[in-house]
Structure 1
């Protein structure tokens, strides 16, 4: 598997030399978008992947590789992350949802299957509630739906002590001990992303996520909705995801046996299967 540098992307996909990627302007900032077209006749709507806090579009690398080539797949960097790191700091989940709406406009996508992990899952919820006609399918992975005051502490800790001070607790929340011991590409990539993050942008994202408050509105959703979590996820354990699933009409929960929080990095094949189930 090709190596990733913290400030550059892998050969496939995730580099400015990658023909599948391009810069797209979203109002007050530009971001890199990975867009893999469907090979042959497209099956299903475009799949839009929204990444987790502290990472970027590259966290979906192996998940994208596991998705059948007859699906159009789109992944992008959220403001404050990756190539959009210099964007004005995020103020709210609603702002991130508006960025997603602008992105779909730029790409000419009328309706999409939106899938998000952690912060990405919170954005996906807000977007599905505000723009339901544009979300044909919804997948929420390892995410939350009620305010989380403890998240404010994670942002404040980075501002007070630097990114190195939050590295260990972040990595142990994201990965299993076995994956950390092996120290493969996914772990090395995530570690570099955390250490290279701007503490103020990191804190701004945590503040936005801490205010998520969608649980009481999820009954309004009418699109097919999947929910996915790992059995070993300490951040969003199955009981938390089951509560969210219970609020969504027809919501279906898949628990990946032995899976941690960062499923796209440690269990990408199983996550891809669950997203498209």
Structure 2
């Protein structure tokens, strides 16, 4: 039987430590759980002129489906925690979940603290097949990076989802973890695995880069969906609500509060997180119904002419 992946931020931290000790990039190798034709590990070269090798998990499809969904993960950035959602994805959808630069199977080893550089490096993820539409999802720390990627106006981008977005303010659990991690980095840095070290530095220093996030959101022309759990003790829901209320955008951002949900939507049933993402896809237009409704309005506004016709005048001799 395959080993269970730890859940939650504390167990995730322990998984990172255990993986580093054994030299693995994944805590539970995905290929031991899912066949390669269901969930496949891929790699690509980073954009922006960077020579890094970036690792990701994908859903192989014989033919490009109508929608491609790209997920930019949080900190620490481990795509393997999205494997159940990838496996449960319908065949008419494609999904790619990335290990961001500096995490898991991705290069570099060094810390990449600038979210603009990370956005440049991950732009190749947004390439699509002909006529394929694109939805971009940014999770936690990845939300700000996804916003910068969306601001570059990739072709066929139809929407941006900020899922459990982290926007500089930590909740009780986040403060405790970042505080503990900062102390370890100061007094015993060699004992902290790379992924935990980079995650702590990212979360601790992100507040200095929020101007880039606000600027990116102001330039977006596509719908932006902010989805947040009201039980999130890592990234407070109040911060997400404040972002929606105070950020000037070309079109209003849609906010959805998920009752009882914590910071890790992908820890729950795969169907739940997939349903939340699916709800953010643009709904198809009922052109037939729209045409009938439009004609009814036009017809109601047309002048009403009497059907009675005037009798012809009597002929004279």
TM over 0.5: yes
Hey, what's the Cα distance between the residues in 2 that align with 1:129 and 1:147?
23
Partner of residue 24 from structure 1, selected from 36, 44, 50: 44
Matched residue count: 245
State the match for 1:212 in structure 2.
210
Q: Deviations over 1:34-88 (max 9, x none)?
A: 22134667233x1001111013111212222343221011112111110125433
SS class of match (1:269)? helix
Max Rg structure? 2
SS class of match (2:257)? strand
Query: Are 1:126 and 2:148 matched, yes or no?
Result: yes
Q: Which moved more, 1:67-76 or 1:30-39?
A: 30-39
Q: 1:85 to 1:275 in 2, by over 3 A?
A: same
Report the TM-score, using the length of structure 1 for normalisation.
0.72
Would the aligned equivalents of 1:39 and 1:69 in 2 still touch at CA under 8 Å? Answer: no
State the match for 1:84 in structure 2.
106
Q: 1:139 to 1:14 in 2, by over 3 A?
A: farther
Hey, what's the Cα distance between the residues in 2 that align with 1:74 and 1:137?
16
State the match for 1:57 in structure 2.
79
Supply the RMSD in Å over aligned alpha carbons: 3.6
Query: Are 1:98 and 2:120 matched, yes or no?
Result: yes
Would the aligned equivalents of 1:116 and 1:141 in 2 still touch at CA under 8 Å? Answer: yes
- For structure 2, the residue ranges without an aligned partner over 5 or more in a row are 6-14, 280-317
SS class of match (2:93)? coil
Would the aligned equivalents of 1:59 and 1:264 in 2 still touch at CA under 8 Å? Answer: yes
By relative contact order (CA 8 Å, sep 6+), the higher-ranking structure is 1
Hey, what's the Cα distance between the residues in 2 that align with 1:135 and 1:38?
20
- The Cα of 1:245 is off from its aligned counterpart by 3.1
Q: 1:157 to 1:262 in 2, by over 3 A?
A: farther
Query: Are 1:221 and 2:220 matched, yes or no?
Result: yes
Q: 1:200 to 1:232 in 2, by over 3 A?
A: closer
State the match for 2:95 in structure 1.
73
Report the TM-score, using the length of structure 2 for normalisation.
0.64
Q: 1:68 to 1:205 in 2, by over 3 A?
A: same
State the match for 2:293 in structure 1.
none
State the match for 2:262 in structure 1.
260
